[in-house]
Amino acid sequence: MYKLFFKRALDVILSLCGIIVLAVPMLIIVLAIRIDSRGPAIFAQTRLGKGGKEFKIFKFRTMVVDAEKSGVYSDNKDPRLTRMGKILRKTSLDELPQFFNILVGEMSFIGPRPPLTYHPWPIEEYTDEQKRMFDVRPGITGWAQVNGRKGVEWNHRIELNVWYVDNVSFFLDLKILFVTVWKVLKNSDNENKGATVVASEKTAEAEASVVQ
C-alpha cells in the first residue's frame, strides 16, 4: 500500500510544501547564480526515470556555461565550478529544483538516482535484473547514496538500487532520509573519485564525459 499510494501522496504534499516554504531562498539562489556568472540559473539534463522513460532533471547550475564540452569528471576543485557553484555543491542545495520534478511525478524524494541516458551505459545494455531499478521513480537520494554515494562502482550501485526496489517501505525511506541529512551535514561521499564503471571501452568513454 505504501509503495502504491502513500509514497506518492507524501511526495506531492512534501514537494509542494517545500516549494512554497523555500520559494524565497530559491529565488535568492537564482539571483546569486546570475550575478556570479554568465548563463541560466537552472541546469537541465536528460536522465532515465521510471520504466526507463527519459525526462529532464533540474538542478541549480554550478559550473560555467558549456562546461560539459570539456568531457572530464568534475570534483570540488574543478576550475569550471563557479564560486556560487562550490557553495551549492557542498551543501547539496543545487538539488532543490528537483522538487518540481517530484511534484509532476517524474521523481520521488527517495529512490535510485536517475542515470544519464548514456552513462553508465545505454538502457539497452542493462541486464533484465539491472532494469528492475527502473520499477520505481528515481529519487533525490536513495539506498546507494547512503552506502557510498559517488564512490560506489556502478554495477554495485545498481545492485543497491535493485535491493531498494525489493525492500521499499516507509521505515526504509525514513532511514535513508535521516542518513542523507547526516551525510550532507558532514559533506561526506560528495565528490567524484574518478571512473566508477567496470565495462567496455565505449562505456568508459561515456564515463569520462560526466559533469554537473
Three-state SS for 58?
A: strand
Q: Is the pLDDT of residue 206 over 50?
A: no
**73 located within any domain:** yes
Closest among 94, 84, 67 to 32, alpha carbons compared: 84
DSSP structure string for 184-200: HHHT-S-S--S----S-
Measured between alpha carbons, how far is 154 from 133 in angstroms, rounded to an integer?
Answer: 12
Instruction: Categorize the per-residue pLDDT at 193 as very low, low, confident or very high, splitting at 50, 70 and 90.
Output: low
pLDDT of 198: 57
Q: What is the mean pLDDT of residues 175-186?
A: 92
Number of domains comprising the chain = 1
Mean pLDDT of the chain: 88
When mean pLDDT is compared across 124-133, 145-154, 168-177, the lowest value belongs to 145-154
**188 located within any domain:** yes
Measured between alpha carbons, how far is 63 from 66 in angstroms, rounded to an integer?
Answer: 8
**38 located within any domain:** yes
Q: Is the pLDDT of residue 11 over 50?
A: yes
Domain that holds residue 117: 2-207
Q: Is the pLDDT of residue 124 over 90?
A: yes
**212 located within any domain:** no
CB atoms under 10 Å from CB of 63, counted, come to 21
**114 located within any domain:** yes
